[in-house]
């Protein structure tokens, strides 16, 4: 069961060769469009071909042709790690209290490993956050920072602009950054790649959000995955090539 829509699915290592069981939180227009896609998908299969629809198929239909390196006025829901301008004034967090820049970017050694291990579990829960905008520094975002002592040269400048955020993402290993977004002195990166949705500023003072994807890295990752010859049913063990494969 996927608690996502085609626009919020975290495509990548945890969401690719698995079958699509059900999707949630889609409006009537999205449901209609997906229904048309689903009918076309199964009609296109040859006689006797009973392969289920995979998450990869949703990427091919919704995202592949639309992916671009950068898009202004767009929120791609990057939220696995944050780089926050240390000079930002205190901002209201999700609990109603204020958090200073020190609490956001101080020593959080171990927060990176925590976010890595929980990123797949949190990806669907994050959809319900009342403030997805990274301009509003919430407690959950502040907990996903990296110890500044472990920053590389590009990460130390990630909060300066969309350009610097993009370069910081590109400087990291593949597994640590497929996409990024920037707004109001906050850079956020994603360990997966998502489509996202248009960004609507809450006020005239709020800076436009810019989102981007490391297109070459994503396409290389997809090529390495092949054709998903084995359907990876979550929690089930499958036999393949004479050995037991635990998904």
Q: Is the pLDDT of residue 246 over 60?
A: no
Question: How confident is the model at residue 45, as a pLDDT?
Answer: 76
**β-pairing, 197-198 with 186-190?**
unpaired
| Contact partners, residue 81, CB within 8 Å, separation at least 6 | 112, 115, 144, 145, 146, 176, 188, 189, 191
Q: How confident is the model at residue 222 (pLDDT cuts 50, 70, 90)?
A: very high
Of residues 244 and 67, more confidence is placed in 67
Of residues 24 and 35, more confidence is placed in 35
Chain segment 207-219, per-residue pLDDT in tens: 889 999 999 999 9
Burial class (CB within 10 angstroms; exposed 0-12, middle 13-18, buried 19+) of 148: middle
Chain segment 71-113, per-residue pLDDT in tens: 999 999 999 999 998 887 444 343 333 343 333 333 343 343 4
User: 58-67, 69-78, 131-140, 202-211: which range is least confident on average?
Assistant: 131-140
Alpha-carbon 228 to chain mean position = 21
Chain segment 14-26, per-residue pLDDT in tens: 999 988 877 777 7
Do 131 and 139 meet the contact criterion of CB atoms below 8 Å apart? no
Predicted TM-score (pTM) of this structure: 0.73
Question: How confident is the model at residue 2, as a pLDDT?
Answer: 59
Q: How confident is the model at residue 237 (pLDDT cuts 50, 70, 90)?
A: very low
Bridge partners, residue 74, by sequence: 198
Alpha-carbon 149 to chain mean position = 25
| Contact partners, residue 93, CB within 8 Å, separation at least 6 | 99, 136, 137, 138, 139, 142
Of residues 189 and 240, more confidence is placed in 189
Considering the chain, what is the average pLDDT of its residues? 76
For the chain, the three-class secondary structure string (H helix, E strand, C coil) is CCCCCCCCCCEECCECCCECCCCCCCCHHHHHHHHHHHHHHHHHCCCCCCCCCEHHHHHHHHCHHHCCCEEECEECCCCCEEEECCCCCCEECCCCCEECHHHHHCCCCCHHHHHHHHHHHHHHHHHHCCCCCCCCCCHHHHCCECCHHHCCCCHHHCCCCHHHHHHHHHHCCHHHCCEEEEECCEEEEECCECCCEECCCCCCCCCCCEEEECHHHHHHHHHHHCCCCCCCCCCCEEEECCEEEEC
**β-pairing, 179-183 with 210-213?**
antiparallel
**Opening angle at CA 17, ends 44 and 54, nearest 5:** 35
Q: How confident is the model at residue 41 (pLDDT cuts 50, 70, 90)?
A: confident
């Amino acid at each position: 069961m996927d608690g996502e829509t085609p626009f919020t699915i975290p495509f990548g290592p945890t969401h690719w060769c698995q079958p699509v069981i059900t999707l949630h939180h889609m409006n009537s227009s999205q449901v209609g469009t997906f229904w048309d896609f689903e009918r076309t998908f199964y009609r296109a299969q040859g006689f006797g071909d009973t392969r289920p629809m995979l998450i990869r198929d949703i990427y091919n239909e919704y995202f592949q042709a639309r992916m671009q390196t950068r898009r202004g006025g767009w929120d791609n829901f990057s939220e696995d790690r944050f780089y926050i301008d240390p000079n930002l004034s205190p901002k209201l967090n999700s609990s109603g209290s204020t958090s200073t820049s020190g609490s956001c970017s101080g020593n959080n050694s171990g927060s990176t490993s925590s976010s890595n291990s929980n990123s797949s579990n949190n990806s669907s829960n994050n959809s319900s956050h009342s403030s997805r905008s990274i301009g509003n520094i919430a407690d959950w975002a502040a907990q996903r920072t990296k110890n500044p002592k472990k920053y590389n040269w590009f990460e130390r400048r990630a909060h300066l602009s969309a350009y610097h955020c993009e370069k910081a993402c590109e400087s990291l290993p593949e597994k640590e950054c497929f996409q990024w977004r920037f707004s109001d002195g906050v850079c956020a990166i994603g360990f997966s790649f998502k489509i996202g949705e248009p960004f609507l500023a809450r006020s005239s003072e709020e800076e436009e959000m810019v989102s981007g994807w490391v297109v070459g890295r994503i396409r290389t990752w997809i090529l390495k995955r092949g054709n998903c010859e084995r359907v990876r049913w979550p929690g089930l063990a499958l036999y393949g090539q004479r050995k037991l494969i635990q998904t």
